[in-house]
């Protein structure tokens, strides 16, 4: 069963997409059900104001990670459930700054990850999408 995920603790979608799509009812084993969560690309928008964060790049990364975590928490997950992250940076020379903040959120557990230089929407400097696997 597929379900749209929405939380007011992350930015509302600004187009025809969902914050996340949850797939439930996956059998991990005979006794365990699992879920897959596909999280749309999160950008540095403050959900309280609906406005984008500009300026300090590390604060932009932090806001994106908080938005991502909020979607996970909405379905009872957390960052340790993330299995794959794709990061889009408008300027790959900011990779070290990105990695520093990203490491604050993924300390001991580190999901698979790709980082590419691309142009995130609306002139943002960063966008992150993720896939999470949750056992019940």
CA angle, 8 then 13 then 15, to 5°: 160
Total domain count, the chain: 1
State the CATH number of the domain containing residue 76: 3.30.1330.40
Please report the pLDDT score of residue 30 as a whole number. Answer: 78
* Confidence at 14, pLDDT banded by 50, 70, 90: confident
Residue 70 tokens read as 């909020």
> Residues 120-132: pLDDT tens digits?
999 999 999 999 9
Q: Which domain holds residue 74?
A: 2-135
H or E element, residue 18: none
* Mean pLDDT score of the chain: 95
* Confidence at 76, pLDDT banded by 50, 70, 90: very high
29-66 as b/e: b if 16+ CB within 10 A? eeeeeebbbbbbbbbbbebeeeebbeeebeebbbbbbb
- CA–CA dist 88, 50 (Å, integer): 21
Which residue reads 């979607």 in tokens?
Answer: 71
> Residues 24-74: pLDDT tens digits?
988 888 788 899 999 999 999 999 999 999 889 999 999 999 999 999 999
């Amino acid at each position: 069963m597929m379900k749209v995920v929405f939380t007011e603790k992350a930015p509302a979608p600004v187009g025809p997409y969902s914050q996340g799509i949850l797939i439930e009812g996956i059998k991990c084993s005979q006794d365990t059900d699992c879920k897959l969560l596909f999280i749309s690309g999160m950008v540095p928008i403050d959900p309280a104001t609906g406005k984008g964060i500009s300026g300090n790049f590390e604060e932009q990364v932090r806001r994106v990670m908080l938005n991502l975590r909020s979607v996970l928490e909405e379905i009872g997950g957390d960052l340790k459930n993330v299995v794959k992250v794709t990061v889009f940076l408008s300027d790959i020379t900011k990779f070290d700054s990105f990695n520093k903040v990203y490491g604050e959120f993924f300390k001991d557990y580190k999901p698979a990850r790709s980082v590419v230089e691309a142009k995130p929407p609306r002139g943002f400097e960063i966008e992150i999408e993720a896939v999470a696997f949750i056992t019940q």
